[in-house]
């Protein structure tokens, strides 16, 4: 594993709560698996599984924590079971998403279909996006050794900081 960036305080202190911060680059192994970092697994509450789905606007994948996805699914249970528009939306989401178990080493194997969508062939850049993890082709991201203050300022404003 090649780690880029620094651990967050929440990540280094553990406790199952915190934010997903930082960046980790991992090579895909011969079986096309990669490891979710132990600190992030701890923040996620050492889940048995995670959800993976394509991003709706960018060529990356999202790892959605079990707790986050279950909260969203609970809200769906309040909706009509046979609503045609909702049924179609859920079918599309279901056909293009995965629920993946983590092995004892914290590895997951994403389907070739989703790896191809994000153009992930040899290395995966995992970026902590506070509540989820984004999976990118490393070359698609800006250089890691610089902070774009304008972009960061815009991000803070968009997030309401």
The string of pLDDT tens digits covering residues 1-35 is 444 444 443 433 344 578 999 999 999 999 999 99
pLDDT of 75 reads 87
CA 65 to chain centre: 8
In the sheet with 133-136, reading across from the earlier edge strand, the strands are 2-4, 23-27, 123-128, 133-136, 61-64, 49-54, 98-101
Please report which confidence band the pLDDT of residue 76 belongs to, taking 50, 70 and 90 as the band edges: confident
- When pLDDT is averaged across residues 34-54 and rounded to a whole number, the result is 94
E strand or H helix at 72, and its extent? helix 66-76
Q: What percent of the chain has pLDDT over 90?
A: 67
Domain count, the chain: 1
d(CA 82, CA 66): 25
Residue 124 has pLDDT above 90, yes or no: yes
At 81, the pLDDT band (50, 70, 90 cuts) reads confident
Per-residue pLDDT at 5 = 46
What domain range includes position 63?
A: 2-159
Whether 46 has a pLDDT exceeding 50, the answer reads: yes
Mean pLDDT of the chain: 87
Average pLDDT (33-58) is 94
Tell me the CATH number at 63: 3.40.1550.20
| Contacts with 84 (C-beta within 8 Å, 6 or more apart), sequence order | none
Distance CA(119)–CA(117), nearest Å, equals: 6
For residue 16, the model assigns a pLDDT of 53
């Amino acid at each position: 594993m090649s780690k880029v960036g620094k651990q967050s305080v929440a990540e280094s202190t553990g406790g199952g709560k915190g934010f997903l911060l930082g960046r980790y680059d991992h090579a895909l192994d011969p079986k096309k698996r990669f490891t979710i970092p132990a600190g992030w697994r701890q923040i996620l509450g050492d889940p048995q599984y995670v959800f993976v789905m394509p991003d709706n606007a960018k060529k990356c994948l999202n790892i959605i924590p079990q707790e986050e996805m279950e909260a969203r699914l609970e809200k769906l249970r309040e909706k009509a079971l046979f609503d045609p528009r909702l049924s179609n939306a859920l079918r599309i989401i279901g056909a293009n998403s995965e629920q993946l178990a983590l092995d004892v080493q914290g590895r997951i194997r994403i389907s070739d279909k989703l790896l191809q969508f994000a153009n992930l062939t040899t290395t995966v850049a995992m970026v902590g996006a506070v509540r989820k993890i984004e999976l990118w082709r490393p070359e698609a991201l800006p250089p890691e050794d610089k902070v774009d203050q304008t972009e960061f300022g815009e991000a803070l404003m968009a997030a309401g900081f």
